[in-house]
């Protein structure tokens, strides 16, 4: 199902009377999500991601704007009429019901002509349970399951009613690191096999990038960028997106453009022909460095971290925003790194510059 | 370790002394009295040991009347007051405006003196030479002949006693239940909402199981409280409850000890032991039933 958001806005009224302005949790969102996509809604905590999800599910009403499902305006529809499946961050499994009863719960709600027979419900529940591989746990209570199993039950309960859209709120946040890797593959698999348009919320960019068809980056309720993960990573629209995506994070520096060259301090790092002179923020991905003793860009080595396949040179630079500059280079270069200074070539396609005054990306 | 043990017992000592002197010792004493025939407080003597006290009490028409009254009271007021309190609590939990006002209003009977409440019921129900009572006046509008609720037929008196009891016990239940309902994590309601669950199903499938331990607590204490009813009957029908056929088991025990027919501690003790056995049995049944229906 195609999801369209038009000028979607949610403002929470302020509690104190002195502050008349409320909190803008979602600010003028315009997005189109194609049918059958797995979408990662990404942003730091408190940026309005969960509000977004609640707006999509219908648990909250937007202050302004519209939500369209396949072109139908659902903005004022209550959740039960939208056909949404929602997996809560804490799963919200009913503790007094067995796994099977939890999964059939949404089906039992159907009345009138949609009413299902016991057999139909059982077979649908079993189908959903098989999809998430919990068919052997049907008679247990949620309290007797591990976190990962509870997660699967919650997903089964959300998909058993064949929703038009599946929403997952921080689906991996309550799992340990190993299970997280496994579960995110699982979510991808379940989404592929059901073909349900799925939106999941996360603050973990790695999680979002690894499985999403599309990622939506937001900050303080404002849409920052929408795109395929690799596109957004390679071409961040602003400094925030550049910083937010990627592990280890991007290295950022104070720089300026002068006479068709990009400078960090006194060092001319790259050519920037045709760019007018201005102060810029320079973002260089860790993999955007190459050791070259003839180069101009000089860092002071702090330490070298060996990771097997490649090494990470942790160094310092006067104009870096962060105390440390992290560069990742092939491990065959490990002998080129010595105490003291190291000189790098900077790869142009791994470098982005943003105007200091407007945060506007400058292409060069 | 040894020292710690000593300290622990020291801390427990006040409670142990008080409970021992005022609870455990009298309990045992009552049990002994109940088997001593014709015990006399003044002289401390008795004529024999055996089950005569029980046989007498169980054949005493006053006791049987009291037993019947108490059972009717229990069977009607415990389910009715719990169900009503549940209804009111759910209502209170789903309104926003004036919630605090209503909570206070519903709690008022709890902080009101039993006899003061009795006075209110007198105004509502009692016939005097000047008026038939408020309820009769209202019933009169519908063409119902005046009923003497306080001194009239048995069913009318029982109705007033049940209403009175329900009215007195409901506030506490409401307070406890609203607290329990408020502590249910709202995320379950959101989950139910997304799945389009009807309000009735939300109540029976989510709210009720989630607060079942509290409901169960109220039912158990409700049963025990109703079996111990006495002051309510006194407030409505005066102290001579045998004459008005409105006595309760506790009232019977009191009468046997101090009332007009007083001075029979052995019979009183036997009645007390019978009451204890009934309450114990009912509570055990409750516990057994709850295992199936209460979700902790």
d(CA A135, CA A137): 6
CB A218 within 8 A of CB A58: no
B4 contact partners, CB below 8 Å, separation of at least 6? none
Three-state SS for B94-132 is HCCCCHHHHHHHHHHHHHCCHHHHHHHHHHHHCCCCCCC
d(CA B197, CA A106): 7
Neighbours of B295 (CB within 10 A): 15
d(CA A208, CA A184): 9
Query: In terms of CATH architecture, what is B61-293?
Result: Orthogonal Bundle (1.10)
CB B154 within 8 A of CB B68: no
The residue in chain B having the minimum alpha-carbon distance to the alpha carbon of residue A57 is B194
Min Cα–Cα distance to chain A from B81, Å: 26
pLDDT in tens, A154-203: 999 999 988 999 999 988 888 888 888 888 888 899 999 989 999 999 88
Neighbours of A149 (CB within 10 A): 17
* Nearest CB to B195 within list A80, A97, A111: A80
Cα four-point dihedral sign A190, A192, A196, A200: positive
| The two structure tokens encoding residue B36 | 């001593």
B218 contact partners, CB below 8 Å, separation of at least 6? B82, B85, B173, B176, B177
The residue in chain B having the minimum alpha-carbon distance to the alpha carbon of residue A56 is B194
Taking contacts as CB-CB distances below 8 angstroms, the residues of chain A near B194 are 57-59, 79-80, 84-86
B95 contact partners, CB below 8 Å, separation of at least 6? B102
pLDDT in tens, chain B (296 residues): 567 788 989 999 999 999 999 999 999 989 998 998 877 777 777 888 888 899 999 999 999 999 999 999 999 999 999 999 999 999 998 888 888 888 888 888 888 887 788 888 888 888 888 888 888 888 888 888 888 888 888 998 999 999 999 988 999 999 999 999 999 999 999 999 888 888 899 999 999 999 999 999 999 999 999 999 888 888 888 878 888 888 999 999 988 888 665 578 888 999 999 999 999 999 999 888 888 777 76
For residue B47, give the DSSP letter: S
The residue in chain A having the minimum alpha-carbon distance to the alpha carbon of residue B201 is A109
Low-confidence ranges of chain A (pLDDT < 50): none
The verdict on B205 touching A (C-beta cutoff 8 Å) is: yes
Interface predicted TM-score (ipTM) over 0.90: no
Domain extents in chain B: 61-293
Q: For testing the chain B interface, which of A106, A157, A165 should be mutated: the one with the most B CBs within 10 Å?
A: A106
Q: For testing the chain B interface, which of A59, A78, A96, A112 should be mutated: the one with the most B CBs within 10 Å?
A: A96
Three-state SS for A21-71 is CCEEEEEEEEEEECCCCEEEEECCCCCCHHHHHHHHHCCCCCCEEEEEECC
Q: What is the pTM of this model?
A: 0.80
β A84-87/A165-169 pair status: parallel
C-beta atoms of A94 and B188 within 8 A: yes
| Closest C-alpha to A1, from A39, A33, A40, A31 | A33
| The two structure tokens encoding residue B293 | 């229906």
CB A144 within 8 A of CB A102: no
Min Cα–Cα distance to chain A from B201, Å: 8
For tokens 């939106």, the residue is A199
CATH number, span A3-244: 3.40.50.300
pLDDT at B124: 87
C-beta atoms of A57 and B295 within 8 A: no
The verdict on B193 touching A (C-beta cutoff 8 Å) is: yes
C-beta atoms of B196 and A81 within 8 A: yes
CB A342 within 8 A of CB A326: no
Q: How many interface pairs between A and B have CB atoms less than 8 angstroms apart?
A: 55
Which residues are B49's β-sheet partners?
B36
pLDDT at B262: 56
For residue A294, give the DSSP letter: T
Which residues in A have their CB inside 8 Å of a CB on B? Answer: 57-59, 78-81, 84-86, 88, 90, 92, 94-97, 105-106, 108-111, 161
Domain extents in chain A: 3-244, 251-362
d(CA B54, CA B272): 10
List Cα–Cα distances, A199 to A36, A87, A153, A214, B246, in angstroms: 10, 10, 18, 9, 68
For residue A161, give the DSSP letter: T
pLDDT at B86: 94
β A38-42/A197-202 pair status: parallel
d(CA A221, CA B20): 66
| Closest C-alpha to B86, from B214, B189, B225, B223 | B214
């Amino acid at each position: 199902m195609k999801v369209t958001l038009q000028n979607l806005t949610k403002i929470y009224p302020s509690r104190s009377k002195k502050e008349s302005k409320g909190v803008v949790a979602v600010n003028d969102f315009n997005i189109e999500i194609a049918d059958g996509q797995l979408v990662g809604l990404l942003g730091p905590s408190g940026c309005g991601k969960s509000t977004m999800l609640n707006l999509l599910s219908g648990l909250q009403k937007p202050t302004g704007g519209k939500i369209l499902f396949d072109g139908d305006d659902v903005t004022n529809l209550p959740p039960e009429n939208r056909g949404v499946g929602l997996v809560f961050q804490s799963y919200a499994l009913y503790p007094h019901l067995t796994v099977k009863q939890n999964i059939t719960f949404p089906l039992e709600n159907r009345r009138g002509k949609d009413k299902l027979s016991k057999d139909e419900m059982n077979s649908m529940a079993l189908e959903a349970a098989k999809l998430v591989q919990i068919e052997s746990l049907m008679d247990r209570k949620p309290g007797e399951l591990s976190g990962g199993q509870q997660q699967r039950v919650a997903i089964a309960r959300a998909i058993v009613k064949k929703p038009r859209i599946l929403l997952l709120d921080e689906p991996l946040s309550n799992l340990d690191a190993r299970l997280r890797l496994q579960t995110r593959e699982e979510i991808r698999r379940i989404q592929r096999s059901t073909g349900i348009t799925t939106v999941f919320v996360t603050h973990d960019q790695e999680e979002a990038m690894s499985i999403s068809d599309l990622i939506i980056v937001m900050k303080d309720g404002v849409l920052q960028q929408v795109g395929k993960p690799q596109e957004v990573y390679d071409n961040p629209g602003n400094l925030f997106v550049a910083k937010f995506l990627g592990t280890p994070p991007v290295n950022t520096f104070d720089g300026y453009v002068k006479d068709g060259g990009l400078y960090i301090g006194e060092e001319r790092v790259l050519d920037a022909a045709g760019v007018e002179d201005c102060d810029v923020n320079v973002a260089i991905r860790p993999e955007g460095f190459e050791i070259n003793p003839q180069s101009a860009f000089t860092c002071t080595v702090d330490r070298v971290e060996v990771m097997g396949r490649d090494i990470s040179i942790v160094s310092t630079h006067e104009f870096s925003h962060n105390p440390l500059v992290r560069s990742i280079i092939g491990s065959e270069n490990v002998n080129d790194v010595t105490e003291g200074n190291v000189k790098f070539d900077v790869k142009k396609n791994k470098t982005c510059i943003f105007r200091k005054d407007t945060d506007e990306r400058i292409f060069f | 370790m040894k020292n710690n043990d000593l300290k622990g017992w020291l801390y427990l000592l006040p409670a142990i002394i008080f409970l021992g002197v005022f609870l455990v010792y009298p309990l045992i004493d009552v049990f002994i009295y109940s088997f001593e025939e014709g015990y006399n407080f003044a002289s401390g003597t008795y004529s024999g040991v055996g089950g005569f006290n029980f046989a007498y009490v169980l054949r005493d028409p006053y006791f049987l009347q009291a037993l019947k009254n108490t059972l009717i009271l229990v069977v009607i007021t415990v389910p009715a007051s719990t169900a009503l309190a549940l209804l009111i609590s759910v209502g209170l939990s789903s309104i926003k405006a004036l919630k605090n006002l209503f909570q206070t209003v519903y709690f008022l009977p709890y902080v009101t003196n039993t006899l003061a409440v009795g006075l209110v019921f007198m105004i509502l129900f009692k016939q005097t030479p000047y008026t038939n009572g408020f309820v009769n006046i209202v019933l009169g509008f519908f063409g119902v002949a005046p009923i003497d609720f306080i001194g009239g037929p048995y069913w009318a008196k029982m109705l007033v006693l049940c209403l009175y009891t329900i009215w007195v016990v409901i506030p506490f239940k409401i307070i406890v239940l609203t607290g329990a309902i408020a502590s249910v994590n709202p995320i379950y309601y959101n989950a139910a909402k997304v799945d389009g669950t009807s309000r009735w199903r939300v109540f029976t499938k989510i709210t009720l199981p989630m607060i079942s331990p509290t409901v169960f607590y109220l039912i158990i204490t409700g049963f025990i409280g109703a079996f111990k009813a006495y002051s309510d009957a006194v407030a409505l029908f005066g102290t001579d409850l045998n004459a008005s056929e409105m006595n309760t088991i506790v009232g019977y025990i009191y009468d046997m000890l101090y009332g007009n027919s007083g001075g029979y501690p052995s019979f009183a003790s036997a009645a007390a032991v019978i009451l204890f056995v009934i309450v114990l049995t009912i509570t055990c049944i409750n516990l057994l039933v709850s295992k199936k229906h209460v979700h902790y």
